[in-house]
Amino acid sequence: MEIIPAMIKDPIYRVYEQRLSHWVRHRPVPHHLALIVDGNRRFARRHGLGHVKHGHQAGANKVTEVLGWCEELRIPVVTMWALSTDNLSRDPDELVPLMGIIEETITGLAALQRQVRLPRRIKVVGRLELLPESTRQIIARAEEETSSYQGYQLNIAVPYGGREEITDAVRRLIADRLTRGDSLEGIAAGLEPEEIGRYLYTEQTPDPDLIIRTSGEVRLSGFLLWQSAYAEYYFCDAYWPAFRHIDFLRAIRSYQQRQRRHGK
């Protein structure tokens, strides 16, 4: 079910959208855009869609559209947070259809990359061992099918938690160093942030420049805790399924208007 705000059909709105798009296109865009795609359940309730799974489906449908906007601006890296580790504790009545939607979306995105002008390599990040076997197989297939694409990447965070990522990174680092014969004392004495960074789920991916969260919530909820140290944030009131092109452009414009110092 698609719900189109009346203002999108307004000619004045369309003119404003075109001018904003022109403004954004002539200025530097983020190299890595991260998205907290929040508000699917509230969208379903607000529009009387019945079961919240319809909100999740509407959110899944929005993904391809937003990726198209990113392609238009040639944004190289996009990360979308689709499911948190906390979400796994939701009622099975919601979680089971949600996992099915995630599987269908990942499969569809992998197939889509064969058709778009700037195909993206898909990488799924998170505690994959917590997912059903069927989901892990679909993820592996999508990553394999898109592994040859270079220059553009789509990270899908599922199931993801920022604290879990850092914990897993430190655990992997220690295990790796111990296999090399290092002592725990030696590991602790020489530990540096750059080394921990190499063990994160997003290893070899640049840190995000801009993080957008939809639904009106003004918090990160642990998203990319380590990587977001110098990211710019933009919080949008629209629920994710209702996230408009103009909302996207405003977020990019806000980023372009900021002076980034990276702590200097």
Give the C-alpha separation, 222 to 123, whole Å. 20
- Tabulate helix, strand, coil % of the chain (nearest 5): 50, 10, 40
| Residue 206 backbone dihedrals phi, psi, to 5 degrees | -65, 150
Task: Enter the DSSP assignment of 134.
Answer: H
What ranges in the chain are assigned the alpha helix state H? 11-25, 40-46, 53-72, 92-112, 133-145, 162-179, 184-190, 193-197, 245-256
Give the C-alpha separation, 1 to 244, whole Å. 16
N- to C-terminal Cα distance for the chain? 48
Identify which of 241, 240, 234, 170 has the alpha carbon closest to the alpha carbon of residue 208.
Answer: 234
* Tokens describing residue 36: 């907290």
Q: Parallel, antiparallel, or unpaired: how do β-strands 210-213 and 232-235 relate?
A: parallel
Which residues on neighbouring strands pair with residue 232, listed in sequence order?
Answer: 210
Active site residues: 38, 87
Burial grade of 55 (CB within 10 A; 0-12, 13-18, 19 or more): buried
